[in-house]
Amino acid sequence: MARFYRKLAILTKVETVYGTDPVPTGAANAMLVTNVTVTPLAGDQVSRDLFLPYLGQQGVILVGTYTELKFDVEIAGAGAAGDVPKYGVLMRACGLGETVTVATDVQYEPLSSSFEAVTHYFMHDGVKHAMVGGRGSVSVSLVPKQIPHYTLSFKGLLGPITDAAMPTTDFTGFQTPVPVSKANTTMSLHGWTAVAESLMLDLANQVEPRFLIGDENIQLVDRNPSGTAVVEARSLATIDWFTRAQARTRGALAVQHGTVAGNIVKFDAPAVEVGRPTEGQTQKIINYSLPLMLCTDAGDDEFKITVM
Question: How many whole angstroms separate alpha carbon 163 and alpha carbon 126?
Answer: 6
Q: Is the dihedral of CA 50, 55, 61, 62 positive or negative?
A: positive
Burial class (CB in 10 A: 0-12, 13-18, 19+), 243: exposed
Neighbours of 285 (CB within 10 A): 11
What is residue 59's DSSP assignment? -
Give the pLDDT of residue 177: 98
How far apart (Å, rounded) are the C-alpha atoms in residues 24 and 86?
A: 13
| Per-residue pLDDT at 151 | 98
Nearest to 136 by CA among 172, 93, 97, 165: 93
Q: How far is CA 64 from CA 43, 59, 61, in A?
A: 5, 17, 10
CB atoms within 10 A of CB 304: 17
Q: What is the pTM of this model?
A: 0.95
Residue 201 is predicted with a pLDDT of: 98
In this predicted structure, what is the pLDDT of residue 263? 98
* pLDDT score of 72: 98
Nearest-5° angle of CA 124, CA 130, CA 136?
100
Residue 49: the pLDDT is 94
The torsion of the CA quartet 139, 12, 68, 229, rounded to 10 degrees, works out to -10
The reported pLDDT for the residue numbered 136 is: 98
Instruction: Give the DSSP letter of residue 29.
Output: H
pLDDT of residue 35: 97
Q: Which residues contact 110 (CB under 8 A, 6 or more apart)?
A: 95, 96, 97, 203, 223, 225, 300, 301, 302, 303
- What pLDDT score was predicted for residue 39? 97
Which residues of the chain fall below pLDDT 70?
Answer: none
Domain assignments of the chain as residue spans, ordered by start: 8-42+61-307
pLDDT at 88: 98
Burial class (CB in 10 A: 0-12, 13-18, 19+), 144: middle
Q: How far apart are CA 210 and CA 19, in angstroms?
A: 13
